[in-house]
């Protein structure tokens, strides 16, 4: 004799099973975030050009290496989630600071754009795609990177 679960019993069982959380490596691979990224492809090729390399290590760790001329900063992705097919939220730690950063990026094809960034110290770098640091940059300027 077969027994079917009632809708209420099914809901209780389903709620008791923890949801699967994808690893940062799975999220970054699905979002196609790995590779070499730069605001200006030509500047990446010249000495002192600014670009970022995002890679998944053999141990599954997602690492972002930001190259700014002779200065390099290493970031490790601590957690990540794909909110929508084009929006990624992740948290990183820096090799140079005791602050973690939470970012939301929008990814469309071979372009990605930082939509928001905030440090664990409360510093807000970007909000709704615009810089918040009071610099002379245009409010229209956004941090958009292209895959190479």
- What integer is the mean pLDDT of 110-133? 85
Radius of gyration of the chain (CA): 19
Of 61 and 114, the one with more pLDDT: 61
- pLDDT for the residue 142: 42
- pLDDT for the residue 1: 45
Whole-number average pLDDT of the chain:
79
Between CA 77 and CA 7 the distance in angstroms is 39
Q: Which two tokens stand for residue 27?
A: 């999220």
CA distances, 71 to each of 41, 87, 101 (Å): 19, 29, 19
Q: 109 — alpha (psi -120 to 50), left (phi > 0) or beta?
A: left
**Per-residue pLDDT tens digits for 58-99:** 999 999 998 888 889 999 999 999 999 889 999 999 988 888
27 and 134 in contact (C-beta within 8 Å)?
A: no
- What integer is the mean pLDDT of 34-52? 76
- pLDDT for the residue 25: 96
4 pLDDT band, cuts 50/70/90, is low
């Amino acid at each position: 004799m077969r027994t079917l679960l009632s809708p209420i019993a099914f809901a209780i069982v389903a709620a008791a099973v923890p949801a699967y959380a994808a690893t940062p490596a799975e999220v970054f691979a699905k979002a196609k975030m790995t590779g070499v990224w730069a605001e200006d492809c030509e500047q990446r090729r010249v000495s002192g050009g600014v670009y970022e390399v995002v890679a998944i290590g053999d141990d599954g760790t997602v690492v972002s290496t930001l190259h700014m001329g002779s200065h390099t900063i290493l970031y490790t992705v601590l957690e990540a989630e794909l909110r929508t097919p084009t929006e990624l939220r992740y948290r990183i730690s820096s090799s140079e600071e005791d602050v973690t950063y939470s970012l939301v990026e929008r990814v469309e094809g071979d372009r990605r754009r930082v939509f928001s960034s905030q440090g664990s110290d409360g510093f807000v770098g970007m909000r709704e795609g615009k810089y918040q640091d009071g610099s002379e940059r245009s409010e229209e300027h956004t941090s958009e990177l292209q895959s190479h």
